[in-house]
A and B are shown apart, each in its own frame.
Chain A
């Protein structure tokens, strides 16, 4: 009989390749007046960080790493020789409660290898969530991974206990799935996402009816993950897929996960270095789609389908569209301010508020802590007009290229991170 420590080693190791970790966006609930523990509803909290720069927010584990599927990027596929383990529902429940009470975590992220059938596996996962909610009055965050082929009733039940549910797309085209994940099917995944979207919106509508009784809880959002660099898909294809999921199924988040070496490589998918910068650029592009009103074709077109790895996608767009600039920060409309490299959404709002009372000068922008070097060639202010030469010059792009990177890592004196690296690799926020 395997002990709990050994199981945790195997089943946490098996879950680490899932990038999603959000613990925000849940309905407001807490444990006051009850016997249990837990609260959700504020912004998510990252309780720790590992040296891969990722946050530890939820206890992320698999129910079991035994799996019928043969996804070649995955350490848990049936062809891998990895040691297999399986938690009992009570073991996961107890670990979640014990970790939560010590304030190590925000809650549980539970996924599983697929054993026997989709429904059987879903039932195992749901049983943990049910016990946490109904037996232990656990009010913390629960994220359940669901299987598109599971019955709609089971997915509905998962949604009742979970704050978030997710199904991983993994790869943006059926063609890639056929080669690397032969059991997975994009159409069925999307159909399940459509069903979940329906459930989420149904509950939302019920809640707004003035005199109706409070409807039973349901997850407030769904998310997904796409692997980057395992197949030959271009950034245009990946972002096109993400955009479709945001618009047709109202996903909260698409996570991009650079395919990184695993201990059990497949002969069908040789290992290579994880494309971390590409992953970072995809997150930035994703941000542009969601918060800056960019269209996929503006960022990655059919003619030029991959992001520039050396420059952020907004700056890259600006350099390709120089006729739009310079933009007058004292007059330009919001949508044009959002297009200025180095200017984030919050600072755009601040500029709009402040310019009602004053004509902005460079010193005002410095106080907003914008990235002046990036900004200067693209704007005019009361006291600044960029030299025409700047915008027309061939060397403008060169001005923004990063200096050669220092590759060695000195642990005692880590290099000062460049602003662009600094921002979490996950969030991709500017």
Chain B
């Protein structure tokens, strides 16, 4: 049994996995860890780099595996490195090249579940990041925005290119507890995580946004579970509109009762408008034509 200590990143896992595979080390013989504290408990093993690299060049895996591995690597489950290596082993040494098409396989299913959780986390980051305007660059005049987000997995690098493409015309930073992403118009770069207090709490537009949210809600069709399945409560603390939710639900029954108790309005006559007259004339002649067509005589 050997222990492999890596940085918790896809590239680090990939480099180590290539060497192990080239040396023919079976998955059962490896313990993986990305925990720096645990590291001191083990004797770090220096792989025989040169020999390993030679063998490694011959390793071929389906492109889909690389994508899957990159995504799984961002998950926080400590078992992911070992599982990735086991599936890599089965794909190559195990001669199960079709393995990834087997969604019924336990290992594949596990990797897909992790990948899906990471994908969902990225999607929710794209959706729920809220930028706050903090000023403008004195030299370029570009507006500067800062956001705070708390992802579940290590996804900042995977999620950031989306923001670069979408908000290329403004300067922005997205701060998270793990890692921060920054864009200045030319370069996307990353720095270490920070605490919540580094980010602004409010934006001048938040009130107008809440006005929109309050008024787009239809009190006559409350479906709280549908809302919560897509926007779980854990995100609410960083969403400016979420403070309205409880109140909107509480007053919805009364609002609908008010509608039901309102006296029904009679139809008003059509105003004197040329377009409306032409429309009514058109409708009448079309109705007449239709009647004529369906007339069996």
Instruction: Report which A residues bind B (CB closer than 8 A).
Output: 4-5, 8-10, 12-13, 15-17, 30-39, 42-43, 45-56, 59-60, 68, 70, 72, 78-81, 95, 98-99, 101-104, 116-118, 137, 140, 149, 174, 178, 182-183, 185, 187-188, 258, 260-268, 270-271, 274, 276, 350, 353-354, 356-358, 360, 364-365, 367-368, 409, 411, 414-417, 421-422, 424-425
Contact = CB atoms under 8 A, between A and B. Distances in A.
A48 B130 CA distance: 11
B275 A367 contact: no
The 10 residue pairs across chains A and B that have the minimum distance between CB atoms:
A53-B226, A53-B223, A364-B104, A117-B275, A417-B225, A30-B165, A260-B220, A350-B103, A12-B215, A50-B217
Nearest to B256: A261
Interface in B199-238: 203, 205, 207-209, 211-231
Binding site secondary structure of chain B: helix
7 contacts: A34-B168, A37-B166, A53-B224, A79-B265, A178-B287, A266-B267, A365-B104
Nearest to B245: A51
Contact of A16 (B218, B258, B264, B279): B218
A140 B279 CA distance: 35
A9 B231 contact: no
A422 B225 contact: yes
Interface string B109-126: 100000000000001001
Given A95-B208, A260-B218, A353-B103, A101 B170 contact: yes
Interface of B: 98, 101-106, 109, 123, 126-133, 143, 145, 147, 162, 164-170, 203, 205, 207-209, 211-231, 239, 241, 245-246, 248-250, 252, 256, 258-260, 262, 264-268, 270-271, 273-276, 279-280, 282-283, 286-287, 290
Nearest to A37: B169
Contact of A79 (B164, B248, B268): B268
Query: Which residue among B145, B250, B273 has the maximum number of chain A CB atoms within 10 Å of its CB?
Result: B273
Contacts of A13: 215-216
A213 B203 CA distance: 44
A189 to B, nearest CB: 12
Contacts of B109: 367
B268 A367 contact: no
B127 A50 contact: no
A49 B126 CA distance: 14
Contact of B166 (A39, A68, A353, A421): A39
Given A30-B165, A79-B266, A424 B217 contact: no
A48 B226 contact: no
A103 B132 CA distance: 9
Contacts of B132: 102
A95 B207 CA distance: 12
Contacts of A262: 220, 259
A102 B172 CA distance: 10
A12 B275 contact: no
A411 to B, nearest CB: 6
B227 A49 contact: yes
A51 B275 contact: no
B45 to A, nearest CB: 35
B221 A101 contact: no
B279 A267 contact: no
A33 B168 contact: yes
A37 B183 CA distance: 13
A425 B226 contact: yes
Nearest to B218: A52
Contacts of B258: 263
B212 A265 contact: no
A102 B203 contact: yes
A265 B169 contact: no
Contacts of B216: 12-13, 15-16, 50, 56, 60
Nearest to A353: B101
B276 A68 contact: yes
A185 B241 contact: no
Contact of A264 (B213, B219, B265): B265
A49 B217 CA distance: 9
A107 to B, nearest CB: 11
Given A35-B169, A104-B209, A268-B267, A51 B223 contact: yes
